[in-house]
Every structure is written in structure tokens, then in C-alpha cells.
Amino acid sequence: MLLLIICIGTLGYIMIEGMTVLDSLYMVTITIFTVGFREVKPLSPFGQFFTILIICGGVGTAIYAFTKIGEIVYEGGINKFWRSRRMENRLKKIKDHYIICGCGRMGQIVCERLEEEKIPYVIIDSNEETIEALKETCDCIAVIGDASNEEVLLEAGIKRAKAVAALLPSDADNLYLVLTVRLLNPSIFILSKALEEEGEKKILQIGANKVVSPYKLSGHKLAQGLIRPTLVDFIDLIIRRQELSLSMEEFVVKKNSKIADQTLIGCDVRKKTNVIVVAFKKPGENIVFNPAPDIRIDTGDTLLVLGDERGISEFENLYIRETK
């Protein structure tokens, strides 16, 4: 539109005022951009009326054109550049975070839960549109690329991360991802999705700490929902933490934790913090529910405690945090 008005204006001044092409172009330019420089020569009444038409049509068109050009430059270049730099800086600083590999429906639910818990996480997905859609609902850190690629994992901070969730579409993809992650960070906790029983076994053998089968898990929950619906509702409340004041937390006993090398009755956990140790697990052993009061808690044991937020916070500060 802007170029069309310039062409029409130049041709009009040539025909009406008998100006040269350069003079006509000059007149159109100073008129559209309201520069206010002198006219080439005094205009005839018809030439003045034509100039008014150029001002009315050209100024608005010029403003609109340069506004749209500015938006394109900002959105496509400058804004994208600054967002990229901001993302790089956040990736360099983040640590003890969770890496979510695969942003399908399951991955999005995991991200929403981590967002609610205010836990730092990084998403890896090869679909840029999916990442952009997720960014509209949460301020997430994302890396676009193949999650099983070593460079992509390193960019996501795999060596500083706390855990990885392998949620790619197929068991073969998750198998290769788990192997790559284990080679890059031998000590990291890896949770993987598995669709088939055979894939579940292989992923565990290759180095995953835990494998979840969505179909099996959903089937068990559906069965429990039929048999014990109230119990399922209670477990959902505990997991979501939205409608209930109680919550459940998992703690690993550290070397210099106050509870290490002690018994539950000796620490008097219930009286001092008003939380219940509902289960505990020693490395490589099965979970023990409702542990006896005289059971010995050692370094590396995992405790599952139930209580309100204040009690759980007091329990962590008093018994779990390492003392000097």
C-alpha cells in the first residue's frame, strides 16, 4: 500500500504539475512523512487538493506500515534474541533441577505438578510449537531438540540435575535416552515411562532407577476405585495437596542428620513435630510400612512422613538437615 501510494503520488505530480520524476518523488516523500521541507514550486489549486489526498491516505498508511515492520523485527529478531539469551543465562544458573524429556500429555501433567510445587525443572522436546504453547501457561525453561542427544542433555544441565524423567513416545526412545543419561551422569536418579512389560525390564536393566507403566498404573487405580473408592479419594487428596491440610513428603537421611543412627522413639518425632513416619526404606530393600518405634534409622534410608506443612518443615529442619 505504501509503495502504491508513492507510485500514484509521483505520477500525479508529474501529470498535474509537470514536475520531473525526482521532483515528484521528493514531493511525495516530504508529504507522506510530514517532514515539512520546502515545496519544489508553488502548487496549483488542483495540485494542492491532490497533496491533501496524499496526506490523508499516505500518512496513515506509512504509520501502519512501519508499525507492522517494527512488530515483525521485534517478534522475529530482537525479542527472539533476548528470549534466547535469557534462556541461556537461566540454564547456566539452574542446578538440582528436574529434566522432563518429552512434552506430551503426560509430560505436561508432570510439568504442571512441578510448577505447583515450585520445583525447578527444564523441558526437552523436539516440537517447538508444543514448547511455545506450554510457555504461555507457565514460565518454564525449555530446550528444543532431541532428548537423547548428548549436546542437548548437556545444554539442559544434565550434570547438575537432580533427576530425569524419560517420557518419550516409545520404549526404544526411552531405552536409548536412559543409557545416554546414565553415561553422562552415573549418579542421577532416572524415572522412565514404559508401555510394554519387556520394555520395562530392559529399561531397568540399562540403568533406570524406576520405571512406570501408565497402563498398569491406571489399571490398578481403576480397580482400587471400584473396590475402595474412599481410599483412592484420600490418596488423591494427599498427592494433590489442594483440598487437605495434610501432605506426604519423602526424605533421605544424610550422613550428619540428627535422626541418623537413632530410633524413632529415641528421637520422639511425633511429639516434637507432630508428623507420622508412615514408611521407611533401606537402599536395595522393600518399603516397610508403619515401622516399629525401636527401628534403627541409618544414613541413606528413605523416610515417608505424613503431616501438615508446618510439621513437615520442622521435621526436615530438626532431623534431616545436616548438622555441623
Residue pLDDT, tens place only, 84-127: 777 778 888 888 899 999 988 888 888 888 888 888 999 999 88
Domains 2-88 and 94-212 share a fold: no
Distances (CA, A) of 29 to 40, 45, 106, 214, 249: 12, 20, 58, 66, 70
Tell me the mean pLDDT in the region 192-207: 89
Average pLDDT of the chain, as a whole number: 83
Neighbours of 27 (CB within 10 A): 26
Dist CA 75 CA 78 (whole Å) = 7
Dist CA 273 CA 257 (whole Å) = 16
Which CATH number applies to 2-88?
1.10.287.70
pLDDT in tens, 134-147: 777 777 888 888 99
Q: Which residues pair with 304 in a beta bridge?
A: 250, 279
Taking the model in full, what pTM does it have? 0.60
Which CATH number applies to 94-212?
3.40.50.720
User: Looking at residue 241, what is its pLDDT?
Assistant: 56
Strand order of the β-sheet with 302-308 is 246-252, 302-308, 276-281, 287-289
Dist CA 207 CA 76 (whole Å) = 42
User: Looking at residue 116, what is its pLDDT?
Assistant: 81
Residue pair 54/32 in contact (Cβ under 8 Å)? The answer is: yes
Tell me the mean pLDDT in the region 284-303: 86
User: Looking at residue 225, what is its pLDDT?
Assistant: 80
Tell me the mean pLDDT in the region 20-48: 80
pLDDT-based confidence at residue 312 (cuts at 50, 70, 90): confident
User: Looking at residue 318, what is its pLDDT?
Assistant: 86
User: Looking at residue 36, what is its pLDDT?
Assistant: 66
The residues spanned by each domain of the chain are 2-88, 94-212, 245-320
Percent residues over pLDDT 90 in the chain: 18
**DSSP code string of 18-73:** ---HHHHHHHHHHHHTT--PPPSSPPPHHHHHHHHHHHHHHHHHHHHHHHHHHHHH
Tell me the mean pLDDT in the region 254-260: 86
User: Looking at residue 185, what is its pLDDT?
Assistant: 93
Spatial neighbors of 101 by CB under 8 A, at least 6 apart, are 107, 124, 125, 147, 164, 165, 166, 167, 168, 177
Tell me the mean pLDDT in the region 14-37: 82
User: Looking at residue 79, what is its pLDDT?
Assistant: 62
Which CATH number applies to 245-320?
3.30.70.1450
Backbone angle region of 284, left / alpha / beta, with phi > 0 → left and psi within -120 to 50 → alpha = left
Residue pair 151/124 in contact (Cβ under 8 Å)? The answer is: no
Tell me the mean pLDDT in the region 223-232: 79
For the ranges 69-83, 87-101, 170-184, 266-280, the one whose mean pLDDT is highest: 170-184
Tell me the mean pLDDT in the region 64-82: 70
pLDDT exceeds 80 at position 73: no
Neighbours of 3 (CB within 10 A): 9
User: Looking at residue 55, what is its pLDDT?
Assistant: 80
pLDDT exceeds 60 at position 78: yes
Task: Give the side-chain half-sphere CA count within 13 A for 73.
Answer: 6
User: Looking at residue 104, what is its pLDDT?
Assistant: 85
Chain center to CA of 121: 6
User: Looking at residue 239, what is its pLDDT?
Assistant: 65
User: Looking at residue 177, what is its pLDDT?
Assistant: 94
